[in-house]
């Protein structure tokens, strides 16, 4: 158990809908990262938050948004969903700058039908 909790584990929704994925980082970790992994693909970096502020942005679509709350949990909002958004969405956390590895949650499997 990495200590990073993602909910829900599985999500099935229809095209055009909006969903929210939730991530609780390890206790004390300030950084949260979101990654997308499509079938048989590598990890695509979406966005990073550090202590409530956006730190880095990757190839995140405009239909997607995220935020990190004062209690350090984070939510990834996906809207106007398309079939191609079906993927495994990972959240990872790390405790401080530059010196530590990322600990990954178990991911949320999103299926858009």
Instruction: Point out which span in 15-23, 37-45, 62-70, 74-82 binds other proteins (CB under 8 A).
Output: 37-45
* Strand 87-94 with 31-37, pairing: antiparallel
95 CB contacts (<8 Å, ≥6 apart)? 26, 28, 29, 30, 31
* Closer by beta carbon to other proteins, 17 or else 51: 51
Tell me: does residue 56 bind other proteins (CB under 8 A): yes
Tell me: does residue 89 bind other proteins (CB under 8 A): no
Contact 68, 32 (CB under 8 A): yes
Distance CA 94, CA 27 (A): 10
Tell me: does residue 110 bind other proteins (CB under 8 A): no
Residues that bind other proteins (CB under 8 A): 2, 31, 33, 37, 42-43, 45, 48, 50, 55-56, 58, 88, 90, 92, 94, 97-99, 101-104, 106-107
């Amino acid at each position: 158990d990495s200590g990073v909790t993602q909910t829900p584990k599985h999500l099935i929704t229809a095209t055009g809908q909006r969903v929210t994925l939730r991530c609780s980082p390890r206790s004390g970790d300030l950084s949260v990262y979101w990654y997308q992994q499509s079938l048989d693909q590598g990890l695509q970096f979406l966005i990073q938050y550090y202590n409530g502020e956006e730190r880095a942005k990757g190839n995140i679509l405009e239909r997607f948004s995220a935020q990190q709350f004062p209690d350090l949990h984070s939510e990834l909002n996906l809207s106007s969903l398309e079939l191609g958004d079906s993927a495994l969405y990972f959240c990872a956390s790390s405790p401080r700058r530059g010196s530590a590895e990322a600990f990954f949650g178990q991911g949320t499997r999103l299926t858009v039908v």
